Amino acid sequence: MTTHFSALRGKNVILGVTGSIACYKAVDIASKLVQAGAVVDTVMTRSAQQFVSSLTFRSLTHRSVVTDLFDAESDDAVEHVALALRADVVLIAPATANVIAKIANGFADDALTAVVLATNAPVLLAPAMEGRMWANAAMRQNVSTLESRGFSFIGPAEGRLASGEMGRGRLEETSTVLNALYEAIGGGSAGDLAGMHVVVSAGGTQEPIDPVRIITNRSSGKQGYAIAEAARDRGARVTLVTAPTALTDPDLIEVVKVGSARDMLASVESALRAGADALVMAAAVADWEPASAAGQKMKKTWETRMTLELTKTPDILATVRELPGVKVGFAAETEDLLGNAKEKLSRKGLDLIVANDVSATDAGFNVDNNRVVILDRDGAQEELPLMSKRDVADRILDRVRGIVDARR
Protein backbone atom coordinates (compact mmCIF):
# COMPACT_ATOMS: atom_id res chain seq x y z
CA MET A 1 0.00 0.00 0.00
CA THR A 2 1.39 3.41 -0.87
CA THR A 3 1.62 5.94 1.86
CA HIS A 4 -0.08 9.23 1.02
CA PHE A 5 0.00 12.21 3.28
CA SER A 6 0.35 15.24 1.22
CA ALA A 7 1.68 17.67 3.81
CA LEU A 8 5.03 15.87 3.85
CA ARG A 9 5.54 16.17 0.09
CA GLY A 10 8.66 18.19 -0.67
CA LYS A 11 9.44 18.84 2.99
CA ASN A 12 13.10 18.65 4.05
CA VAL A 13 13.30 16.18 6.88
CA ILE A 14 16.56 15.51 8.69
CA LEU A 15 16.48 12.02 10.14
CA GLY A 16 19.02 11.69 12.94
CA VAL A 17 19.89 8.09 13.74
CA THR A 18 21.83 7.27 16.91
CA GLY A 19 23.27 4.05 18.26
CA SER A 20 20.51 1.85 19.58
CA ILE A 21 19.31 -1.60 18.60
CA ALA A 22 16.11 0.22 17.54
CA CYS A 23 18.06 1.61 14.53
CA TYR A 24 16.35 -0.96 12.33
CA LYS A 25 13.05 0.84 12.91
CA ALA A 26 14.61 4.07 11.59
CA VAL A 27 14.95 2.29 8.26
CA ASP A 28 11.19 1.84 8.12
CA ILE A 29 10.64 5.47 9.15
CA ALA A 30 12.99 6.64 6.35
CA SER A 31 11.17 4.48 3.83
CA LYS A 32 7.72 5.79 4.85
CA LEU A 33 8.92 9.39 4.71
CA VAL A 34 10.30 8.90 1.21
CA GLN A 35 7.03 7.25 0.10
CA ALA A 36 5.23 10.33 1.38
CA GLY A 37 7.39 12.52 -0.86
CA ALA A 38 9.64 14.03 1.82
CA VAL A 39 13.27 14.87 1.03
CA VAL A 40 15.10 12.89 3.68
CA ASP A 41 18.69 13.64 4.73
CA THR A 42 19.99 11.07 7.15
CA VAL A 43 22.61 12.01 9.72
CA MET A 44 24.08 9.02 11.54
CA THR A 45 26.26 8.95 14.61
CA ARG A 46 29.29 6.69 14.65
CA SER A 47 27.62 4.17 16.94
CA ALA A 48 24.47 4.07 14.78
CA GLN A 49 26.68 2.86 11.94
CA GLN A 50 27.55 -0.18 14.05
CA PHE A 51 23.90 -1.22 13.87
CA VAL A 52 22.86 -0.23 10.33
CA SER A 53 24.94 0.66 7.32
CA SER A 54 24.71 4.15 5.87
CA LEU A 55 24.21 2.40 2.52
CA THR A 56 20.75 1.29 3.68
CA PHE A 57 19.63 4.89 4.20
CA ARG A 58 21.41 6.10 1.06
CA SER A 59 19.60 3.48 -1.00
CA LEU A 60 16.20 4.29 0.49
CA THR A 61 16.46 8.07 0.43
CA HIS A 62 18.49 8.40 -2.80
CA ARG A 63 20.57 11.00 -1.00
CA SER A 64 24.00 11.00 0.55
CA VAL A 65 24.14 10.24 4.25
CA VAL A 66 26.09 12.41 6.67
CA THR A 67 28.21 10.18 8.88
CA ASP A 68 30.88 12.52 10.16
CA LEU A 69 31.28 16.17 11.10
CA PHE A 70 34.35 16.40 8.92
CA ASP A 71 32.61 14.59 6.33
CA ALA A 72 33.12 11.22 4.87
CA GLU A 73 30.78 11.50 1.91
CA SER A 74 30.87 15.13 0.83
CA ASP A 75 33.55 17.68 -0.04
CA ASP A 76 31.59 20.41 1.67
CA ALA A 77 32.96 20.91 5.18
CA VAL A 78 29.97 23.02 6.26
CA GLU A 79 27.44 20.50 5.01
CA HIS A 80 25.84 20.21 8.47
CA VAL A 81 25.12 23.95 8.60
CA ALA A 82 23.56 23.88 5.11
CA LEU A 83 21.41 20.94 6.18
CA ALA A 84 20.40 22.66 9.39
CA LEU A 85 19.27 25.79 7.53
CA ARG A 86 17.34 23.90 4.89
CA ALA A 87 15.49 21.61 7.33
CA ASP A 88 11.75 21.90 7.84
CA VAL A 89 11.94 19.46 10.71
CA VAL A 90 14.56 17.36 12.48
CA LEU A 91 13.56 13.92 13.76
CA ILE A 92 15.97 11.91 15.88
CA ALA A 93 14.82 8.29 15.97
CA PRO A 94 16.08 6.42 17.83
CA ALA A 95 17.51 8.99 20.28
CA THR A 96 19.86 7.46 22.84
CA ALA A 97 20.40 8.68 26.39
CA ASN A 98 23.79 9.94 25.24
CA VAL A 99 22.53 12.12 22.38
CA ILE A 100 19.75 13.54 24.57
CA ALA A 101 22.34 14.50 27.21
CA LYS A 102 24.61 16.06 24.60
CA ILE A 103 21.82 18.12 23.04
CA ALA A 104 20.55 19.24 26.45
CA ASN A 105 24.03 20.55 27.19
CA GLY A 106 24.71 22.16 23.83
CA PHE A 107 27.44 19.81 22.62
CA ALA A 108 28.33 19.82 18.93
CA ASP A 109 31.00 17.18 18.68
CA ASP A 110 29.43 15.21 15.85
CA ALA A 111 27.41 16.04 12.73
CA LEU A 112 24.02 15.36 14.33
CA THR A 113 24.48 17.48 17.45
CA ALA A 114 26.03 20.22 15.27
CA VAL A 115 22.93 20.19 13.02
CA VAL A 116 20.66 20.40 16.06
CA LEU A 117 22.59 23.34 17.44
CA ALA A 118 22.49 25.18 14.11
CA THR A 119 18.85 24.66 13.11
CA ASN A 120 15.76 26.77 13.69
CA ALA A 121 13.47 23.93 12.64
CA PRO A 122 11.42 21.99 15.21
CA VAL A 123 13.35 19.05 16.68
CA LEU A 124 11.55 15.86 17.68
CA LEU A 125 13.23 13.15 19.69
CA ALA A 126 12.00 9.54 19.82
CA PRO A 127 14.02 7.99 22.65
CA ALA A 128 15.04 4.35 22.89
CA MET A 129 16.87 3.07 25.94
CA GLU A 130 16.56 0.85 28.99
CA GLY A 131 13.75 1.76 31.38
CA ARG A 132 16.18 2.50 34.20
CA MET A 133 18.08 4.96 32.03
CA TRP A 134 14.88 6.76 31.01
CA ALA A 135 13.86 6.99 34.69
CA ASN A 136 17.26 8.22 35.85
CA ALA A 137 17.35 11.66 37.51
CA ALA A 138 19.94 13.03 35.07
CA MET A 139 17.75 11.94 32.14
CA ARG A 140 14.63 13.49 33.74
CA GLN A 141 16.50 16.77 34.05
CA ASN A 142 17.76 16.63 30.45
CA VAL A 143 14.25 15.92 29.18
CA SER A 144 12.72 18.81 31.08
CA THR A 145 15.52 21.14 29.95
CA LEU A 146 14.87 20.20 26.34
CA GLU A 147 11.09 20.46 26.68
CA SER A 148 11.44 23.92 28.18
CA ARG A 149 13.45 24.90 25.09
CA GLY A 150 10.71 23.70 22.76
CA PHE A 151 12.03 20.25 21.82
CA SER A 152 9.35 17.55 21.61
CA PHE A 153 9.54 13.95 22.73
CA ILE A 154 7.71 11.10 21.05
CA GLY A 155 7.39 8.30 23.59
CA PRO A 156 9.22 6.21 24.58
CA ALA A 157 6.64 3.44 24.74
CA GLU A 158 6.17 0.76 27.40
CA GLY A 159 7.01 -2.77 26.45
CA ARG A 160 9.69 -5.34 26.05
CA LEU A 161 13.16 -3.77 25.94
CA ALA A 162 16.35 -5.03 24.31
CA SER A 163 17.51 -6.40 27.69
CA GLY A 164 14.44 -8.63 27.80
CA GLU A 165 12.99 -6.60 30.67
CA MET A 166 9.64 -4.85 30.47
CA GLY A 167 9.59 -1.11 30.99
CA ARG A 168 9.29 2.36 29.43
CA GLY A 169 12.03 2.86 26.89
CA ARG A 170 10.93 1.33 23.58
CA LEU A 171 11.12 3.43 20.46
CA GLU A 172 7.53 4.37 19.58
CA GLU A 173 5.84 2.60 16.66
CA THR A 174 6.57 4.06 13.24
CA SER A 175 2.97 5.24 12.85
CA THR A 176 3.12 7.18 16.15
CA VAL A 177 6.44 8.76 15.19
CA LEU A 178 5.11 9.79 11.79
CA ASN A 179 1.92 11.16 13.34
CA ALA A 180 3.93 13.42 15.63
CA LEU A 181 6.12 14.55 12.75
CA TYR A 182 3.06 15.31 10.65
CA GLU A 183 1.60 17.44 13.44
CA ALA A 184 4.92 19.24 13.92
CA ILE A 185 4.94 20.43 10.31
CA GLY A 186 1.29 21.48 10.52
CA GLY A 187 0.08 18.59 8.36
CA GLY A 188 -3.25 18.46 10.12
CA SER A 189 -4.06 22.02 9.11
CA ALA A 190 -3.75 21.50 5.35
CA GLY A 191 -6.45 20.11 3.07
CA ASP A 192 -10.17 20.69 2.62
CA LEU A 193 -11.12 18.41 5.54
CA ALA A 194 -8.72 20.08 8.01
CA GLY A 195 -10.28 20.38 11.44
CA MET A 196 -12.72 17.51 10.82
CA HIS A 197 -12.70 14.24 12.73
CA VAL A 198 -13.90 11.38 10.53
CA VAL A 199 -14.66 7.90 11.86
CA VAL A 200 -14.55 5.07 9.32
CA SER A 201 -15.42 1.43 9.94
CA ALA A 202 -14.00 -1.35 7.79
CA GLY A 203 -13.67 -5.11 7.41
CA GLY A 204 -16.00 -7.97 8.17
CA THR A 205 -16.85 -8.44 11.84
CA GLN A 206 -16.16 -11.79 13.48
CA GLU A 207 -18.79 -13.29 15.76
CA PRO A 208 -17.42 -16.01 18.05
CA ILE A 209 -19.05 -19.44 18.14
CA ASP A 210 -16.47 -20.73 20.61
CA PRO A 211 -12.84 -19.75 21.39
CA VAL A 212 -11.61 -21.03 17.99
CA ARG A 213 -14.56 -20.63 15.61
CA ILE A 214 -16.18 -17.54 14.19
CA ILE A 215 -18.89 -16.41 11.81
CA THR A 216 -17.62 -13.80 9.37
CA ASN A 217 -17.95 -12.64 5.76
CA ARG A 218 -15.87 -11.92 2.66
CA SER A 219 -15.27 -8.20 3.16
CA SER A 220 -11.63 -7.26 2.41
CA GLY A 221 -11.75 -3.87 4.14
CA LYS A 222 -10.30 -2.16 1.04
CA GLN A 223 -13.07 0.40 0.55
CA GLY A 224 -13.05 1.44 4.22
CA TYR A 225 -9.25 1.76 4.32
CA ALA A 226 -9.35 3.82 1.12
CA ILE A 227 -11.87 6.20 2.71
CA ALA A 228 -9.77 6.51 5.87
CA GLU A 229 -6.61 7.27 3.85
CA ALA A 230 -8.37 9.74 1.58
CA ALA A 231 -9.79 11.61 4.59
CA ARG A 232 -6.33 11.72 6.18
CA ASP A 233 -4.76 13.06 3.00
CA ARG A 234 -7.36 15.81 2.88
CA GLY A 235 -6.35 16.90 6.39
CA ALA A 236 -8.95 15.18 8.56
CA ARG A 237 -8.18 13.51 11.82
CA VAL A 238 -9.21 9.91 11.21
CA THR A 239 -10.23 7.03 13.46
CA LEU A 240 -10.43 3.73 11.62
CA VAL A 241 -12.45 1.15 13.53
CA THR A 242 -11.54 -2.06 11.80
CA ALA A 243 -12.51 -5.69 12.04
CA PRO A 244 -9.64 -8.04 11.11
CA THR A 245 -8.36 -7.61 7.53
CA ALA A 246 -5.22 -8.60 5.65
CA LEU A 247 -4.35 -4.92 5.09
CA THR A 248 -1.45 -3.00 6.63
CA ASP A 249 -2.31 -0.38 9.27
CA PRO A 250 -2.30 2.99 7.54
CA ASP A 251 0.04 5.64 8.93
CA LEU A 252 -1.18 8.82 10.57
CA ILE A 253 -4.51 7.27 11.39
CA GLU A 254 -5.78 6.10 14.76
CA VAL A 255 -6.49 2.43 14.15
CA VAL A 256 -8.89 0.76 16.58
CA LYS A 257 -8.97 -3.01 16.11
CA VAL A 258 -12.19 -4.77 16.97
CA GLY A 259 -13.62 -8.26 16.50
CA SER A 260 -17.38 -8.50 16.82
CA ALA A 261 -20.26 -6.20 15.89
CA ARG A 262 -20.67 -5.40 19.59
CA ASP A 263 -17.02 -4.35 19.91
CA MET A 264 -17.38 -2.22 16.79
CA LEU A 265 -20.51 -0.54 18.19
CA ALA A 266 -18.68 0.36 21.43
CA SER A 267 -15.74 1.96 19.58
CA VAL A 268 -17.86 3.79 17.02
CA GLU A 269 -20.15 5.10 19.73
CA SER A 270 -17.31 6.39 21.88
CA ALA A 271 -15.70 8.17 18.91
CA LEU A 272 -19.00 9.87 18.05
CA ARG A 273 -19.64 10.83 21.66
CA ALA A 274 -16.16 12.39 21.73
CA GLY A 275 -17.36 14.77 19.00
CA ALA A 276 -16.54 13.20 15.62
CA ASP A 277 -17.99 15.10 12.65
CA ALA A 278 -18.80 12.12 10.44
CA LEU A 279 -19.17 8.35 10.50
CA VAL A 280 -18.71 6.30 7.34
CA MET A 281 -19.78 2.70 8.01
CA ALA A 282 -17.99 0.77 5.30
CA ALA A 283 -17.69 -2.33 7.51
CA ALA A 284 -19.59 -5.46 6.62
CA VAL A 285 -21.16 -5.97 10.02
CA ALA A 286 -22.42 -9.49 10.65
CA ASP A 287 -26.19 -9.48 10.98
CA TRP A 288 -26.27 -12.49 13.28
CA GLU A 289 -24.22 -13.71 16.20
CA PRO A 290 -24.37 -17.02 18.08
CA ALA A 291 -26.93 -16.67 20.87
CA SER A 292 -24.23 -17.64 23.34
CA ALA A 293 -20.57 -18.22 22.52
CA ALA A 294 -19.29 -21.45 24.12
CA GLY A 295 -16.57 -20.88 26.73
CA GLN A 296 -14.64 -23.97 25.58
CA LYS A 297 -14.04 -25.40 22.13
CA MET A 298 -17.20 -27.28 21.13
CA LYS A 299 -16.57 -31.00 20.73
CA LYS A 300 -17.10 -32.62 17.36
CA THR A 301 -19.91 -35.17 17.62
CA TRP A 302 -20.95 -38.03 15.28
CA GLU A 303 -24.19 -36.25 14.40
CA THR A 304 -24.41 -35.26 10.74
CA ARG A 305 -26.38 -32.10 11.52
CA MET A 306 -26.01 -29.47 14.16
CA THR A 307 -28.08 -26.41 14.93
CA LEU A 308 -26.58 -23.13 15.98
CA GLU A 309 -28.95 -20.60 17.45
CA LEU A 310 -28.31 -17.07 16.23
CA THR A 311 -29.56 -13.72 17.46
CA LYS A 312 -29.53 -10.35 15.72
CA THR A 313 -26.44 -8.20 16.25
CA PRO A 314 -27.05 -4.59 17.29
CA ASP A 315 -27.52 -2.33 14.26
CA ILE A 316 -24.65 0.11 14.75
CA LEU A 317 -25.95 2.87 12.48
CA ALA A 318 -29.45 2.66 13.92
CA THR A 319 -28.06 2.74 17.48
CA VAL A 320 -26.01 5.89 16.91
CA ARG A 321 -28.57 7.74 14.75
CA GLU A 322 -29.35 10.32 17.45
CA LEU A 323 -25.69 11.15 18.07
CA PRO A 324 -24.32 14.18 16.22
CA GLY A 325 -22.31 13.74 13.02
CA VAL A 326 -22.98 13.02 9.36
CA LYS A 327 -23.83 9.32 8.91
CA VAL A 328 -22.98 7.40 5.79
CA GLY A 329 -23.96 3.77 5.29
CA PHE A 330 -23.29 1.22 2.58
CA ALA A 331 -25.78 -1.08 0.93
CA ALA A 332 -24.13 -4.10 -0.59
CA GLU A 333 -26.84 -5.86 -2.53
CA THR A 334 -27.23 -8.59 -5.09
CA GLU A 335 -30.75 -7.56 -6.18
CA ASP A 336 -32.99 -4.46 -6.26
CA LEU A 337 -29.98 -2.31 -5.42
CA LEU A 338 -31.63 1.09 -5.30
CA GLY A 339 -34.87 -0.04 -3.66
CA ASN A 340 -32.99 -1.71 -0.82
CA ALA A 341 -30.60 1.20 -0.46
CA LYS A 342 -33.42 3.75 -0.15
CA GLU A 343 -35.15 1.62 2.46
CA LYS A 344 -31.91 1.44 4.53
CA LEU A 345 -31.27 5.15 4.19
CA SER A 346 -34.56 5.98 5.83
CA ARG A 347 -34.70 3.09 8.32
CA LYS A 348 -31.21 3.85 9.67
CA GLY A 349 -31.64 7.64 9.62
CA LEU A 350 -28.67 8.21 7.30
CA ASP A 351 -27.54 11.31 5.46
CA LEU A 352 -26.08 9.29 2.58
CA ILE A 353 -26.02 5.70 1.46
CA VAL A 354 -23.53 4.22 -0.96
CA ALA A 355 -25.14 1.43 -2.94
CA ASN A 356 -23.02 -1.19 -4.63
CA ASP A 357 -23.96 -4.30 -6.52
CA VAL A 358 -21.77 -7.02 -5.02
CA SER A 359 -22.76 -9.58 -7.63
CA ALA A 360 -20.59 -7.74 -10.22
CA THR A 361 -17.18 -9.38 -10.75
CA ASP A 362 -15.25 -6.23 -11.73
CA ALA A 363 -16.32 -4.20 -8.69
CA GLY A 364 -17.18 -4.54 -5.01
CA PHE A 365 -15.89 -7.33 -2.81
CA ASN A 366 -12.15 -7.91 -2.64
CA VAL A 367 -11.16 -5.99 -5.79
CA ASP A 368 -9.60 -2.55 -6.11
CA ASN A 369 -12.44 -0.97 -8.09
CA ASN A 370 -16.00 -0.16 -7.24
CA ARG A 371 -19.10 1.02 -9.08
CA VAL A 372 -21.52 2.78 -6.76
CA VAL A 373 -24.56 5.02 -6.60
CA ILE A 374 -24.67 7.63 -3.81
CA LEU A 375 -28.19 8.37 -2.59
CA ASP A 376 -29.13 11.19 -0.24
CA ARG A 377 -32.13 12.09 1.93
CA ASP A 378 -33.62 14.32 -0.75
CA GLY A 379 -33.88 11.38 -3.11
CA ALA A 380 -31.02 12.49 -5.38
CA GLN A 381 -28.99 9.66 -6.94
CA GLU A 382 -25.39 10.20 -8.02
CA GLU A 383 -24.44 7.30 -10.27
CA LEU A 384 -20.67 6.94 -10.52
CA PRO A 385 -18.85 4.96 -13.23
CA LEU A 386 -16.42 2.13 -12.44
CA MET A 387 -13.47 3.74 -10.62
CA SER A 388 -10.81 2.91 -8.02
CA LYS A 389 -11.92 2.55 -4.41
CA ARG A 390 -9.70 5.53 -3.65
CA ASP A 391 -11.64 7.67 -6.16
CA VAL A 392 -14.95 6.41 -4.77
CA ALA A 393 -13.63 7.42 -1.32
CA ASP A 394 -12.96 10.97 -2.52
CA ARG A 395 -16.43 11.27 -4.08
CA ILE A 396 -18.06 10.13 -0.82
CA LEU A 397 -15.93 12.59 1.17
CA ASP A 398 -16.89 15.43 -1.22
CA ARG A 399 -20.51 14.77 -0.32
CA VAL A 400 -19.76 14.47 3.42
CA ARG A 401 -17.92 17.76 3.33
CA GLY A 402 -20.86 19.41 1.55
CA ILE A 403 -23.23 18.29 4.34
CA VAL A 404 -20.85 19.35 7.14
CA ASP A 405 -20.39 22.79 5.49
CA ALA A 406 -24.14 23.23 5.06
CA ARG A 407 -24.69 22.53 8.79
CA ARG A 408 -22.04 24.94 10.01
Contacts of 325 (CB under 8 A, 6+ apart): 199, 272, 276, 277, 278, 279
The least distance separating ligand C5P from the CB of residue 256, rounded to whole angstroms, comes to 15
User: According to the binding rule CB under 6 A, does residue 331 interact with ligand C5P?
Assistant: yes
CA 198 – CA 212 distance, rounded (Å): 33
The least distance separating ligand C5P from the CB of residue 224, rounded to whole angstroms, comes to 9
User: According to the binding rule CB under 6 A, does residue 329 interact with ligand C5P?
Assistant: yes
Beta bridge partners of 50: none
The least distance separating ligand C5P from the CB of residue 378, rounded to whole angstroms, comes to 19
CB atoms within 10 A of CB 348: 19
User: According to the binding rule CB under 6 A, does residue 330 interact with ligand C5P?
Assistant: yes
User: According to the binding rule CB under 6 A, does residue 271 interact with ligand C5P?
Assistant: no
The least distance separating ligand C5P from the CB of residue 399, rounded to whole angstroms, comes to 15
Which one among 42, 239, 313, 356 touches ligand C5P, defined by CB under 6 A?
Answer: 313
Phi, psi of 380 (to 5 degrees): -75, 145
Which one among 33, 66, 93, 317 touches ligand C5P, defined by CB under 6 A?
Answer: 317
Which one among 210, 249, 269, 315 touches ligand C5P, defined by CB under 6 A?
Answer: 315
> Among 178-186, 246-254, 280-288, 298-306, which window interacts with ligand C5P (CB under 6 A)?
280-288
User: According to the binding rule CB under 6 A, does residue 364 interact with ligand C5P?
Assistant: no
Rg (CA), the chain: 25
CB atoms within 10 A of CB 203: 29
Burial of 407 (0-12, 13-18, 19+ CB in 10 A): exposed
Interface with ligand C5P in residues 249-268 (CB under 6 A): 261
CA 157 – CA 160 distance, rounded (Å): 9
Could you write out the DSSP letters of every residue in 138-197?
HHHHHHHHHHHTT-EE--PEEEE-TTS-EEEEEPPPHHHHHHHHHHHTTGGG-STTTT-E
DSSP 16: E
User: According to the binding rule CB under 6 A, does residue 200 interact with ligand C5P?
Assistant: no
Phi, psi of 8 (to 5 degrees): -85, -10
Annotated active-site positions, please?
A: 217
The least distance separating ligand C5P from the CB of residue 349, rounded to whole angstroms, comes to 11
> Among 110-118, 127-135, 215-223, 312-320, which window interacts with ligand C5P (CB under 6 A)?
312-320
User: According to the binding rule CB under 6 A, does residue 356 interact with ligand C5P?
Assistant: no
Question: Which residues of the shown chain bind ligand C5P in the complex (CB under 6 A)?
Answer: 261, 281, 283, 285, 287, 313, 315-317, 329-331, 344
